[in-house]
Amino acid sequence: MAVAGLSNKLADFTVSLTLDSIPSKAKENAKIAILDCLGVGVLAASQEIGEVLARFMRKNGAAGSCTIWGMRLTTNVRDAGFVNGALAHGLDYDDRNHASTYTLAASTALAESLDVSGAKLLEAFIAGREVRAALDALFSKRSSGVGPGARGWHSNGILGPIASACSVGKILELDSQQMVAAIGLAAGSCGALTRDGGAMAKPFRVGQAATTGINCALLAQEGFTADETPLEGRYGLLEALGPLPDEVVNVLGQNVGREYELERDIRIKPYASCTATHAGLEAMLRLMQTHKILPNDINAIECDLKPYPLVRQHPKRGFEGRFSMPFCLAVALVHGEIRPNDFTNERLHEPHVQELIGRTRHVPDSPVLIVRLKNGTDLTEEIKPITDLHGWTQTYEKFNVSTVTALSAEQREAIAESVRSLEKLSSVRTLTSRLRKNSSHGSER
């Protein structure tokens, strides 16, 4: 098999990785990803999904001192991994790769519990993301109908437990045999459906991936065993996810440790919705810069609504609007913008928004967005490649806006400085303690 030894290769990479061996560009990009992930997690804590998770934790959470981002509640390491993972992906506002979510949630929870250094956390975070990147080809051709992603599996719940296990295993300083066991336990504990998009089930899978990774690494540390070829072996994960073409299988893990995915710029989202909605949304915002469009003047909106968002073409809840291009187009047109807190039941049931959702039509593969007016005029805007936020400065601005209602200015500045100099922190608790909601900001959660 072309990927013979893949499980051991990923384990050996994780075990042998040192901060000094990581390119400086990868380390800087890792910090950008961490800052963005923390910011959107804190923001999610103040919204509907955060309210649900806070109620759940007050009733069911275990006691402990680990921070839940953006809340004043604390819990044990496994519950912290779960809740922070769900919050990190709760608004679909994390970077487009999504790998920061479970990797950071899992590694931060254990790092805080054990009071390790910031350098150790950074090392573990990078290890987890690079392991995930080594397996990305499994899902990279979903839109072309190739691989498990095209059959309904989602990468967050399939690759997330494995990446999280490696990240946590790095903090625990597992040896190669233990790391393979952690990977094996995680590989058999995975699952997530593309159908989850638009429901809280999608961020739940991320939280589940984080806490699964924690469990698997901790069990492996105690001597719990698993198969030695869990990914590539007969009846292993690859076969279970198959059939897979050679062009996918042959690149799995090929460049791990030689090339770093984190050397590529982090694709920071400017909108809190599914990536597939962004091209149409941006076209609508551009159109509105050159034309005054009133909701009552519109006869129809035509756009390629994309297969993924088509699952939520007519959302029943505001939360589902994150995966509904008709909702995103309608809100942008009615309000001139779309913000993270626009995905509410109140916004969904606004008369103009409901009417425009009903007037939006799917035109497969259309290269343009067309707004057809009742007077017979057609307003057309080209669908262009989506935009990203770039670099530390723009990410810091997004972080500040995301956390302004939960954290004080002093907290926000201290968090950003802690992330920027993460490898210099003697204790990761210097960072995590500042992620707790300020007592002067809102309710007890």
User: Running DSSP on this structure, what letter comes out for residue 367?
Assistant: S
List Cβ neighbours of 419 (8 Å cut-off, separation of 6 or more).
31, 34, 35, 38, 431
- Which of 30, 77, 3, 108 is CA-nearest to residue 435? 108
CB of 47 closer than 8 Å to CB of 70: no
Tell me the pLDDT tens digit for each residue of 336-363. Answer: 999 999 999 999 999 999 999 999 999 9
List Cβ neighbours of 426 (8 Å cut-off, separation of 6 or more).
117, 118
For helices 155-172 and 118-134, the axis angle rounded to 10 degrees is 140
- Count CB atoms within 10 A of the CB of residue 300: 15
In a structure prediction context, what are the per-residue pLDDT tens digits for the chain, which is 445 residues long? Answer: 558 899 999 999 999 999 999 999 999 999 999 999 999 999 999 999 999 999 999 999 999 999 999 999 999 999 999 999 999 999 999 999 999 999 999 999 999 999 999 999 999 999 999 999 999 999 988 777 888 988 999 999 999 999 999 999 999 999 999 999 999 999 999 999 989 999 999 999 999 999 999 999 999 999 999 999 999 999 999 999 999 999 999 999 999 999 999 999 999 999 999 999 999 999 999 999 999 999 999 999 999 988 765 678 899 999 999 999 999 999 999 999 999 999 999 999 999 999 999 999 999 999 999 999 999 999 999 999 999 999 999 999 999 999 999 999 999 999 999 999 999 999 999 999 999 997 555 555 6
For residue 371, give the H/E element and its range: strand 368-373
Residue spans of beta strands (DSSP E) within 4-87: 66-67, 74-75
Distance CA 437, CA 445 (A): 8
The residue extents of the domains of the chain are 6-269+392-435, 275-382
- Which residue type, as a one-letter code, is found at position 276? A
Give Rg (Cα) of the chain: 22
Beta bridge partners of 66: 75
* Residue-level pLDDT at 141: 82
Looking at the domain that runs over 6-269+392-435, which CATH code has it been given? 1.10.4100.10
> How much of the chain is in helix, strand and coil states, percent to nearest 5?
60, 5, 35
Tell me the pLDDT tens digit for each residue of 114-143. Answer: 999 999 999 999 999 999 999 999 998 877
Examine domains 6-269+392-435 and 275-382 and report if their fold is the same.
no
Q: Is the bond into 243 cis (omega within 30 degrees of 0)?
A: yes
3-state secondary structure of 439: coil
Distance CA 116, CA 426 (A): 7
CATH architecture for segment(s) 275-382: 2-Layer Sandwich (3.30)
- Which residue type, as a one-letter code, is found at position 132? R
Strands laid side by side in the 360-362 sheet: 360-362, 298-303, 368-373, 378-382
Alpha helices in 46-175 (DSSP H): 48-60, 77-88, 99-114, 118-134, 155-172
pTM of the full structure: 0.96
Q: What are phi and psi of 247, to 5 degrees?
A: -65, -25
- Count CB atoms within 10 A of the CB of residue 365: 5
